[in-house]
Chain A
């Protein structure tokens, strides 16, 4: 375990502090760098040794040697990045999104317009249908009424005709009846006269007629 942790320990501890697990004397930060290529491998002592020398004694993220360089290059790179983004790329991206937003808005408006048109067409159709239905109803009613009136008129004419003919027939029947009754009187008078003549040998048609009339009244 110490094998791997040691170099880290070596860096976090101040130079000259006792180093646990490393049996080499601490190397001064100012010691010349051995270079980064091909360090001797394998030996425990050399790992600690190499680690210390490699960093020049300071923990690299806190080493102020390169602060100036890092700040300068950060300013250059980040400044360029900010400039390119704010002047070119972000307006372009924003433009793309805006164009799409506008396009979607326009398409939605167009769709809405089409829908309204469709609705109007459906309404017009419904209205025409309702009108046609109403008209058909009116025509049907008119026709029915006309037919009914026609029928009524013809029925009334026939009824009137029939009534006239019945009345005519009744008149004729009463006439025939009266005539028949008169003939009954004449026959009764004659018969009475004949019977009386036969019975008493004398005839009186006037008395016979009076007698028949009396009997008929009584």
Chain B
């Protein structure tokens, strides 16, 4: 149904694949994951193919994205954090391009499904936890005992720290997923008002101007949100990686 704001999140099979009774079908979501990766990879490969000393516009964009992520990572996690640069850059580009693809009408928004954002968040948290233990051993648990806290309240503070650590993958994934979902629903609802009101005759046509203006404004806002959420995901990833590198607060 054209006016149904949920329909856009519907997954439909393109190619039915089932392995061991589990559905691994190639769906529209898979298609847009492939499209996201293909677009991001293709752009970066094409933009940097000339390797010119004086960059053209495309190469400037590629270099800007590189330096943007590198500066974010370096300012949050220090120079040591640069070992995670490929991961952070991949996450940023994947989320950003997936979000921006979602802004194209009739395109599926990969990041509007909780399982995708949760998987990305778990990737970050597992990287942080595994690397933290590999590098610092049990000192990594010092993350949960902040310095300069009186001994009496350490158990309380540590409990809070543990809960906050465990809630990180949830907050990280829900923030991205909910932003994309809510934004697209809102956009669709207002756009639906326009479509329906214009069908009601001259008065409805005049009344449709307001939701139309809203739709235009929301579209701009959603582009901002698409970028901002990719950035927020990235900078939080950097801060969590900083915990793995320097657990002693």
Contact = CB atoms under 8 A, between A and B. Distances in A.
Contact of A89 (B22, B26, B48, B87): B48
B19 to A, nearest CB: 8
A92 B89 CA distance: 14
A19 interface: no
A71 B119 contact: yes
Contacts of B1: 7, 39, 47, 50-51, 54
A183 B192 CA distance: 160
B219 interface: no
A195 interface: no
Given A85-B90, A86-B86, A92 B51 contact: yes
A69 B11 CA distance: 10
A125 interface: no
B53 A100 contact: yes
Contacts of A95: 51
Interface in A2-44: 3-5, 7-8, 11, 36, 39
Contact of B119 (A59, A74, A86, A100): A74
A93 to B, nearest CB: 5
A47 B185 CA distance: 17
B176 to A, nearest CB: 12
Given A66-B27, A71-B115, A81-B93, A59 B66 contact: no
A103 B3 CA distance: 57
A66 B16 CA distance: 11
Contact of A81 (B26, B27, B94): B94
Contacts of A86: 86-87, 90
A11 B8 CA distance: 13
Contacts of A92: 48, 51
B11 A7 contact: no
A60 B189 contact: no
Contacts of A218: none
A2 to B, nearest CB: 12
A67 B119 CA distance: 10
Interface string B160-194: 00000000000000000100010001000100110
Contacts of A3: 3, 196
A55 B25 contact: no
B9 A60 contact: yes
Contacts of B6: 7-8, 11, 51, 55, 59-60
B63 A97 contact: yes
**Chain B CB within 10 Å — which of A62, A89, A99 has the most?**
A89
B99 to A, nearest CB: 15
Contacts of A47: 1, 3-4
Interface string A52-96: 001100011111011111111111011011101110111011111
Contact of B89 (A5, A51, A90): A90
Contacts of A99: 51, 53
Given A66-B11, A77-B37, A96 B196 contact: no
Contacts of B40: 81
Interface in B120-169: 120, 123
A133 to B, nearest CB: 48
B67 A77 contact: no
B44 interface: yes
A54 B2 CA distance: 12
Interface string B30-74: 100110110011001100100101010001001100110000000
Interface of B: 1, 3-7, 9-12, 17, 22-27, 29-30, 33-34, 36-37, 40-41, 44-45, 48, 51, 53, 55, 59, 62-63, 66-67, 85-87, 89-90, 93-94, 112-116, 119-120, 123, 177, 181, 185, 189, 192-193, 196
Q: Which 9 A-B pairs have the closest CB atoms?
A: A86-B86, A73-B30, A77-B33, A60-B9, A81-B37, A7-B4, A82-B90, A77-B37, A89-B44
12 contacts: A51-B1, A66-B29, A69-B23, A73-B26, A74-B33, A81-B41, A81-B93, A85-B89, A88-B45, A89-B48, A96-B48, A96-B59
Interface of A: 3-5, 7-8, 11, 36, 39, 47, 50-51, 54-55, 59-63, 65-75, 77-78, 80-82, 84-86, 88-90, 92-97, 99-100, 103
